[in-house]
Amino acid sequence: MMNVIVQAKSLKVTRALREFIQRQSHKLEKLKDLKITKVTVYLEQDTKKSTNSKKVSVKYSIEVPGKALWVEINGYDFYDAIVDATNAALRKMSETKEKKTDYRRLSKIKELGLV
């Protein structure tokens, strides 16, 4: 069971938003090879009066043994930005898993003297 922490700057996190983040974060457990120890989700709302810029920021910090993966997504709505950040985190974790697998394969090939 991984630990999910939600932190917000300059806004109150509602129960519905917190539960939504929890559900989205648990999608990260699909990648069984990477043992996630902690997920921290940082929420930030831009309070400036600019009309054309994206107003919210969602940052994921995913801690796996020996590494911390970071993903940041900006958007107009927290819910959409959280979904986008979760998908980006899944892609980044898949890439990390592939690198780990490739490194193991290469080590095995070298060990067998095939290179």
- The per-residue pLDDT for range 36-78, each reduced to its tens digit, is 889 999 999 876 666 556 689 999 999 988 888 999 999 988 9
* pTM for the model: 0.78
How many residues appear in the chain? 115
Q: Give the pLDDT of residue 16.
A: 94
Q: Give the pLDDT of residue 33.
A: 72
Q: What are phi and psi of 41, to 5 degrees?
A: -115, 120
Residue indicated by tokens 């509602």: 14
Listed range (27-31, 73-77, 94-98, 103-107) with the worst mean pLDDT: 103-107
- Quote the CA–CA distance of 91 and 55 in Å, as a whole number: 24
What's the rounded mean pLDDT across residues 96-105? 77
Instruction: List, in order of start, the domains of the chain with CATH numbers.
Output: 3-111 (3.30.160.100)
> Strand order in 56-64's β-sheet?
3-9, 38-45, 56-64, 67-75
Q: Give the pLDDT of residue 21.
A: 93
